[in-house]
Amino acid sequence: MKMANFLMPEGTADSTVTDEAHVDRDIARVGTVAVLRGPIGDIAASAAAVVVSNYGHDSVSFLNPGTLEVEDTIGVPGEPFAVVVSDDRAYVSTSSASYDAISVIDTSTKTAIATYPLAFGVTALAISPNGKRVYAGRTGHDYVDVAVIDTTAERVGTIDIATGAGIGVDAIVVDPTGARLYVATTDARGSQLVVVDAETARVDRKVWVGSPIRDLAFADGTAYVLTSDRVRGGAVSLIDMSTNRITDTIELGIGAPTQMTLSPDKTRAYIVDYEHVAVLCTLSHEVVTTVTVDARPSCVALDSDGERLYVADYAGEVATFSVASTLPLLYSQLVATEPIALSKPREFERATA
Domains and CATH numbers, the chain: 5-352 (2.130.10.10)
Residue/partner pairs of 159-162 with CB below 8 Å, 24 or more apart: 159/196, 159/201, 159/202, 159/203, 160/203, 161/137, 161/185, 161/194, 161/196, 161/203, 162/187, 162/192, 162/194, 162/203, 162/206
What is the residue-level pLDDT of the chain in tens, covering all 353 positions?
A: 323 332 333 333 343 333 333 334 568 899 999 999 999 999 999 888 999 999 999 999 999 988 889 999 999 999 999 999 998 999 999 999 888 999 999 999 999 999 999 988 999 999 999 999 999 999 988 999 999 999 999 999 999 999 999 999 999 999 999 999 999 999 999 999 999 999 999 999 999 999 999 999 999 899 999 999 888 889 999 999 999 999 999 999 878 899 999 999 999 999 999 899 999 999 999 999 999 999 999 999 999 888 999 999 999 999 999 997 554 444 334 334 444 344 444 443 444 44
Which amino acid is present at 220?
D
